[in-house]
A and B are shown apart, each in its own frame.
Chain A
Amino acid sequence: MSTHLHGAGGAPGIALGRAVCYQPSAAARTITDETPEAAIARFEAAQAQAIANLNGLGERLRAEGRPNEAAIFEAQAILLEDPFLTDEVARQVREAGSALEDAITATTTQMRVALEALDDAYMRERAADMDALGQALLGALHGSTSALRDLPPGAIIVAPDLAPAETAELRSGTVAGFATAYGGPTGHTAILARALGIPAVVGLGATALTIADGTDLIIDGSNALLIAAPTDTERDTYRQRATGERAAAERRRLAFRDQPGRLADGRAVGIWANIGDPAEAQVAAEHGAEGIGLFRTEFLFFQRTAPPSEDEQYQAYCAALHAMQGRPVVIRTIDIGGDKPVPYIDMPPEANPFLGTRSLRLCMQRPDLFATQLRALLRAATQGDLWIMLPMIATLDDLRWGRAQLTAAVHTLAEAGVPHHADVRLGIMIETPAAAVTADLLAREAGFFSIGTNDLTQYTMAADRGLPDLARRYPHDATAVFRLIALAATAAHTAGIPIGVCGDLAGTPAAAAALAGLGIDELSMSPHDIPKIKEYLQSVTQAQATAAAQAAQQLSYAPG
């Protein structure tokens, strides 16, 4: 007898596979142990596990010919054996009666503080590694992202929800689907699943967490349905449907791949792709992307204990440019904030990470990280049509700061005689209401605009997009959001700079038509949405698009 669970939303597609239950690392979670000795036994097991994980990762990296990265993890493994760490955790558990998780965090914090106090830049840099030790231990206690590296083929991940850093692990192609207990239709899990073309159901409720490892599962993403232990009939039906859907998607992909994006009466609307790593650029090209409108670079910075080198970044940017064969590639600079911390960047906890020291603001505190990225970008710009995009711009000063750093990076490369392309187009994200309402001022100095509708909606509506109820009530196509987009579009046209949209809105057919009606030059979306949007826009006339744009700015707007 099968069990049917209904979710709040998901990513389209059908997946058949087996459950892999995944408990994300929740630093705040603690377990009450019966005795201090039970806590210490748990610690010793976690310590052994974490050491084995790190050494295993080191061996794998070494086998891949990346000895420098391997050494980072091996050095961490040795630090996990440190007698101070072991003794201090045991002392806090036995003498202070601390919970194990608290003792681990307190001890690794103590180690970090000791190193931070030293009068030596190298050692202060190592301080952040101590937090990574704590994370490795807590990860071993409660399940960690490293478990996601070794998934059996056809795995369907069943989890409470997945953090962006964790989802970054899931690009290997072995994951058949996601099923989460929490998270809404516009949450990051659903967005990522759509981006990767992986079927998913989100917001299934806590019942989903009772599913046992290895259970036979079917995901019907379009209907937000999860079937556990399906009957033979159900399995056969879905297997046939999956085959049929794949064939239909493939036909559409091939039909539209080499067609430019345009309206029914011929006006060009560029259809570009959002990607999260260079491998996706190939997927984008295969789906007919006319450019990359958003290349998120965070994948380079997550899941590691030291920042990526200039060369490593250069290689990644070149790979995307080569895959796109001369078509434009818009690369967004570091967009990291307190919601997705990385161990080697000191980010004190903030009450409101989305209103905090994130993204470009973080780069202002760590100009070293920013300068390295800019140098890598300027060097890669010799290999294709690379545009640089600054996120989280709120003022003209923000843009000018970024421009000054870019100029400085050009000088550094020129002085060192390193080949680079100095005349790179520098544009900005319009994702704060502040940027939208001052778009006329920003347009005079920006090389292009790209509207990030996900954050623009969140900031305009004052509604966290991770909260499903609020996300439903204050959607991306809200009247206020469209009016801000219209302001930015007018400013861009007046100044004669291109304007694109790279949020989820661009991949929604009705909204895509309204955006085309506002005169948006390019719509950037998940590669898998491209054929669908090209097909839809070819059925819409300029007059219909203009009417849709006007309606979208009025309360009468009813998305199709």
Chain B
Amino acid sequence: MIETVLTITNAVGLHARPAALFYKKTREFTSKITIQNLSRPDTKELPVSPFNLLQLGVAQGHEVRLRADGADEQAAIDALAQMVHDKFGEE
């Protein structure tokens, strides 16, 4: 199991199109991938899914912790971190 903490910098956060892209990316991997919104301490660690991303309310500037567990865990974390760094192709 590996994990990483990322700051979400794109304007809309993990909502709408970025959330959809993020979720679709996780499905390219076999590892179990979870996310927790550290900026909302009352929220739990949840598997990445469209509804869970909605519940976590990840806005611009929030910190999230991603965890991946499985055969392709490193590739999964790298790919997801890259999307966050690229701001989901916004602007």
Contacts and interface: CB of A to CB of B under 8 A. Distances in A.
Given A118-B57, A120-B57, A123-B57, A84 B20 contact: no
Contacts of A84: 49, 51-52
A115 B50 CA distance: 13
B27 to A, nearest CB: 9
A103 interface: no
Nearest to A118: B57
Interface stretch (A75-83, A323-331, A428-436, A514-522): A75-83
A142 interface: no
A74 interface: yes
A71 interface: yes
B17 interface: yes
Nearest to B47: A83
B49 A118 contact: no
A85 B54 contact: no
A126 interface: yes
Contact of B50 (A71, A81, A118): A81
Interface string B12-46: 00011101100100000000000000000010000
A71 B17 contact: yes
A55 to B, nearest CB: 12
Contacts of A123: 54-55, 57
A111 interface: yes
Interface string B50-64: 111011010000000
Interface in A74-104: 74-75, 78-79, 81-85
Given A78-B50, A82-B49, A83-B47, A114 B20 contact: no
A75 B23 CA distance: 12
A85 B52 CA distance: 11
A111 B51 contact: yes
A118 B42 CA distance: 10
Given A118-B57, A122-B57, A75 B51 contact: no
Interface residues of B, number: 15
A118 B55 contact: yes
B16 A75 contact: yes
A82 B50 CA distance: 6
Contacts of A114: 55
A75 B15 CA distance: 9
Contacts of A118: 55, 57
Contacts of A115: 54-55
A114 B52 CA distance: 10
Given A84-B52, A123-B55, A123-B57, A78 B47 contact: no
B55 A78 contact: no
Nearest to A119: B42
Contacts of A83: 47, 49
Contacts of A126: 54
Interface in A1-44: none
A122 B53 CA distance: 13
Nearest to B42: A119
Nearest to B20: A78
A83 B23 CA distance: 11
A215 to B, nearest CB: 42
A119 B56 CA distance: 11
Contacts of B20: 74-75, 78
A74 B23 CA distance: 14
A250 to B, nearest CB: 49
A75 B54 CA distance: 11
Contacts of B54: 79, 115, 123, 126
B19 to A, nearest CB: 8
A81 B51 CA distance: 9
A114 B55 CA distance: 8
Contacts of B42: 119
Contacts of B51: 79, 82, 84-85, 111
Interface of B: 15-17, 19-20, 23, 42, 47, 49-52, 54-55, 57
Interface of A: 71, 74-75, 78-79, 81-85, 111, 114-115, 118-120, 122-123, 126
* 10 A-B pairs with least C-beta separation: A82-B51, A78-B20, A79-B50, A82-B50, A78-B50, A120-B57, A123-B57, A82-B49, A84-B51, A83-B49
Given A78-B23, A79-B50, A114-B55, 19 more contacts: A71-B16, A71-B17, A74-B17, A74-B20, A75-B20, A75-B50, A78-B19, A82-B49, A82-B50, A82-B51, A83-B47, A83-B49, A84-B51, A84-B52, A118-B55, A122-B15, A122-B57, A123-B55, A126-B54
25 contacts: A71-B17, A74-B20, A75-B16, A75-B20, A75-B50, A78-B19, A78-B20, A78-B23, A79-B50, A79-B54, A82-B49, A82-B50, A82-B52, A83-B49, A84-B49, A85-B51, A114-B55, A115-B55, A118-B55, A118-B57, A120-B57, A122-B15, A122-B57, A123-B54, A123-B55
